[in-house]
Homo-oligomer: A and B are copies of this chain.
Amino acid sequence: MFAAVAEAGGINKAARHLNTVQSNVTQRIRLLEQELGLPLFHRHSRGVTLTGAGAELLPYAQKIGHLIAEAKRAATDGPVPAGRLCLGSLETTTALRLPPILTAYAGTYGEVDIELRTGTTAELLDAVLGRRIEGAFVAGPLDHPELAAETIVTERLVLVTEPKIASFDHFAAAARGREVKIIVFRAGCSYREIFERFLAGRGLGPIRRLELGTLDGIIGCVGAGIGVTLLPRAVAAAGAARGQIALHEIAMPEMRVETLFVRRRDAFVSSALARFIDCAKARGGAAADPAAVPMATARAAKRAARGG
């Protein structure tokens, strides 16, 4: 309750947030101050601010609160995954990599309710650090002392064009000085940033953007010559094998991107989360291919994508 008041900046706001009334919060803060023998807040007309002693106490209160919540989770967690699992993922990863992972996981562990939110790498890392989600797929590389990361897949981005473009040089020649339309998943997609920097560095452009929500939509539009895109090779390979699109390797280090799964190092790993990470590592390489039936054929789809 003390932590809630400190974080809300006022007893009233904290009371609303705690689903109780102001008088109650006031009383209990008063009792706490009495027990410690010193004031924890300065009261003024716009709320409260911490005193020195209060500032000393706050990190302990927060840690204690987190530990209590985590203790409950750890104690009630059984060997068989169950309960709610809150995860985060990049838009791109959600569309390209998550479907086979989720279908396999949901099929095996039906007792788990998965809650997924999408965001940028920065947003997701913040959510993980703030314990709002248990883990997230983000773009690497990453080095943070409080986070544990596992590489799910390392992929090579290739330029995807309509089939009649024979090589990257053809594309560059055609695009020089002319408008380039790029097709991306959504704003904030990390591939898009890489793509735009790449084009700008080559003096290609200006750029126009077209946003599409599905992988086959993007491949279809690219195949029809509406624009170009940047996709992991394995993801686009099936389309290329069907002659729908053409792939062009780009020899730049930025074209190697890795997808990581991150979680707080000090947080409890529920069995639901542990099995999810297993699942993600096992099936991370398999892309969502519209032609592939999810469950049993995920492995076959992966082989096909690589071979093609």
Q: Report which A residues bind B (CB closer than 8 A).
A: 36-38, 40, 53-54, 56-57, 60-61, 63-64, 67-68, 70-72, 74-77
Contacts and interface: CB of A to CB of B under 8 A. Distances in A.
Contacts of A37: 76
Contacts of A57: 71, 74-75
**Ordered nearest first, which 3 A-B pairs have the shortest CB separation?**
A60-B71, A57-B75, A56-B74
A265 B10 CA distance: 34
A32 to B, nearest CB: 9
Given A36-B72, A76-B37, A76-B38, A63 B67 contact: yes
A40 B56 CA distance: 34
Nearest to A40: B75
A71 B61 contact: yes
B36 A53 contact: no
A57 B70 CA distance: 9
A224 to B, nearest CB: 56
Nearest to A79: B52
Contact of A36 (B56, B63, B76): B76
Contacts of A64: 64, 67-68, 71
Contacts of A56: 74-75, 77
7 contacts: A36-B76, A56-B75, A57-B71, A57-B75, A60-B68, A60-B75, A61-B71
Most chain B CB within 10 A, of A36, A71, A74, is at A71
Nearest to A54: B75
